[in-house]
Chain A
Amino acid sequence: MINLTINDQKTSVPAGSTVLDAAKKLNINIPTLCNHPDLCIAGNCRVCLVEQKGARTLIAACAMPVAEGMDIHTNTLKVRNARKHVVELLLSEHRSDCTKCYKNQKCELQSLANEFAFGDTIFLDLVEDHPYEIDRSSPSFMKDDSKCIRCQRCVRTCSELQYISAIAVANKGAHQKISSFHDRPMSHVVCTNCGQCVNRCPTGALVEKTYIDQVWDAIYDPEKHVVVQTAPAVRVALGEDLGYDPGERVTGKMVTALRQLGFNSVLDTDFSADLTIMEEGTELLTRLKKALVDGDKKISFPMFTSCSPGWIKFIEHKYPEFLPNLSTCKSPQQMFGALAKTYYAQKRKIDPSKIVSVSVMPCTAKKYEADRPEMRDSGYKDIDYVLTTRELAVMIKQAGINFRNLEPSHYDSIMGDSTGAAVIFGATGGVMEAALRTAYEIVTGREVPFNNLNITPVRGMEGVKEVTIKIEGCTDDWKFLEGAELKTAIAHGLTNANKIMRLVRQGKSPYHFVEIMACPGGCIGGGGQPIPTSMEIRKNRMKAIYSEDEHMILRKSHENPDVIAIYKDFLGKPNSHKAHELLHTHYVEREQY
């Protein structure tokens, strides 16, 4: 342990801690900007400056390792003056049109300005000296360079967490900026639209592309029947933007709020998540059968899950030779979309051209996914608008809804039923667990051999998890799997996905089935989730997801009554011709720049 004093208070912290860590321990607040708990230390914004006795310069608390006997002061005149200058300098390069800015009141720069730089600044306006551009090309997010403070959080996110580096720091000096490859539009580079950078940008420089106004227009259009679906991870995070602590479940209140907003039908992506399990589980078993029984050489393993559109775009760019290994299942959002304008329309006797299909997602990549040309199997754009969790919170505030006082209510029927298996889709390992709960039962006629159905080895925040399930006691149809060991792996965050893909490319992957989610922690850590994010926050959301599962009566996808009904009334059986038409898709090889 290292002993030091901060503002004359003694503390000791483990070696390797930073001055910032030590200050936190003493409950001393030091402002930060470039620092982010998920990312490596940058030390470039210089907002966290503090004075160290005996040092020639001020030091950056976030980047300075503690040393024995350090004597730190965080609130001297020198510190205050420097901080004020630093914030004012940032503002002088920054187009501060806060009242029009999407990040107004949610902006870290703005809060700092509020603390340190109110009133007149001595600095000259540099905004017009910079050729700032706004890139609106991505369907998922916008990049406004005039709001960027060069903290490089986005760049670190994209390289450290996502192993993509679609954006990097370019140029030097006054011309330094965050740039895609040679300033190409974000829609034309390797960006997966995962929105992890958006989630960590402290300012309005990276924000989701919002469709709030379009959704309001649809709601107020008497001609339109507006259906909304909500993804599993939204219900455990929405509360954070409405004054709740991370990890509080607000499912019932959210449903009520959606109804009050004026959606004609409030439905659940959980329904199509269960459907995904039926389709994907069947696909996996069919592939196993083809390979093991029919000796089909074209089937290669592992099979990859396909419900994360950021992951899909990643593999399309980076490992296109393995596109055949991807499950052909659409994501739950898109399955839902294809069915809303077919099955649901038929059942409710509504002209599908009058249906506006909205989804609320923890994800920015889903906005992109909805725009893919493949996603029109209903004969219409299957999903019209995708809102993030954050946008839904904005709409709830716009509507003046007093969220805390809402009575919880239930989803509407037809595509509103859910199981615990669907809910856990929101966390890394969830799809795997749900798939195993169902597939094991199909093959053996028995429940998975885990206490209370909780397949705990697939859970948790470890980057890559490996789980082997021994299949025993197969029913007659599945005898060829008797005694087989199903090898699975689970990765979340594309850097971890890349580790698995390397193995696969080297021919060293032992796996049969691999679940990959583009975002850290899975959808609970999605790019559309409330800001801020951190490991602690994601863990709380994850806990909430599993407790939601535990509280469900139905915990296995194949028991979802709406799912049973749709196979009976509409689809026939899993992987039927009709199911293929509506619920499956294909992928596109993309360039690697």
Chain B
Amino acid sequence: MYQVGNLVKELTEKHGRLRESLMPILQGIVERHSYLTDEAMVEVAKELDISAAEVYGTASFYTFLDTKVRGKYVIRICKTITCSMKGKGEIIETIEDMLKIKVGETTSDRMFSLLETNCIGWCHKAPAILINDLPYTELSPEKVVEIIKGYMHK
């Protein structure tokens, strides 16, 4: 769990306090901390003068606005048809072996979370993943190991 501190205030300064500011604010929190804590959502609700249930309702609609604990680096593997056909299974196994977590889990040091997602728009270079915002494509087990190693040493 992280402390939101002044982040929500900073984000509302930047994006405003209208209902339409909600998404950019939540996105800003996730960009910094990977997921939304209850505390963060309540803070946002207070700042925008809307109910916390609505903040949660909106956040939980969007796959990337996680309300469960996530690691610093969120790995999302595309599970849609082309990636599935082109070796997504192998990539998952490789990452699961390497990080000792299953899909849906987070490493105990809170560095990595492994999730599946729907088509991320790189089907011609399948299989593809996102690590936080960055796409990695045309993956092989070897390639993905190298990529994740890079994040471990970041």
Contact = CB atoms under 8 A, between A and B. Distances in A.
Interface string A533-547: 000000000000000
Given A168-B57, A593-B45, 12 more contacts: A166-B53, A168-B53, A169-B57, A170-B60, A172-B60, A179-B56, A181-B51, A181-B52, A181-B55, A190-B51, A190-B52, A593-B52
B51 A166 contact: yes
Contact of B56 (A170, A172, A592): A170
A328 B51 CA distance: 28
B54 A165 contact: yes
B1 to A, nearest CB: 14
Interface of A is mostly: loop
- Output the residue of B46, B50, B60 with the most chain A CB within 10 A: B60
A170 B56 CA distance: 7
Contacts of A172: 60-61
Interface residues of B, number: 16
Contacts of A190: 51-53
Interface string A115-156: 000000000000000000000000000000000000000000
Interface string A166-205: 1111111000000111100000011000000000000000
B42 interface: yes
Interface of A: 159, 164-172, 179-182, 189-190, 592-593
Contacts of B60: 170-172, 179
Interface string B109-150: 000000000000000000000000000000000000000000
B67 interface: yes
13 contacts: A165-B51, A166-B51, A166-B53, A168-B51, A168-B54, A168-B57, A181-B42, A181-B51, A190-B53, A592-B46, A592-B52, A593-B38, A593-B52
B53 A165 contact: yes
Interface of B is mostly: helix
B61 A171 contact: yes
B83 interface: no
B61 A179 contact: no
Interface of B: 38, 41-42, 45-46, 50-57, 60-61, 67
B30 to A, nearest CB: 16
Contacts, number: 56
B51 A164 contact: yes
B102 to A, nearest CB: 19
A51 to B, nearest CB: 32
B53 A179 contact: yes
B56 A181 contact: yes
Contacts of A159: 51, 54
Nearest to A591: B42
A435 B153 CA distance: 74
Nearest to B45: A593
A172 B53 CA distance: 15
A553 to B, nearest CB: 47
Contacts of B54: 159, 165, 168
B41 A182 contact: yes
Contact of B67 (A167, A180, A182): A182
A179 B54 CA distance: 9
A181 B46 CA distance: 13
A190 B45 CA distance: 12
A168 B56 contact: yes
Contacts of B53: 165-168, 179-181, 189-190
Contacts of A179: 53, 56-57, 60
Contacts of B38: 181-182, 593
- Output the residue of B45, B51, B52 with the most chain A CB within 10 A: B51
A308 B41 CA distance: 30
Contacts of A189: 52-53
A593 B57 contact: no
A169 B55 CA distance: 10
A182 B56 contact: yes
A375 to B, nearest CB: 27
Contacts of A167: 53
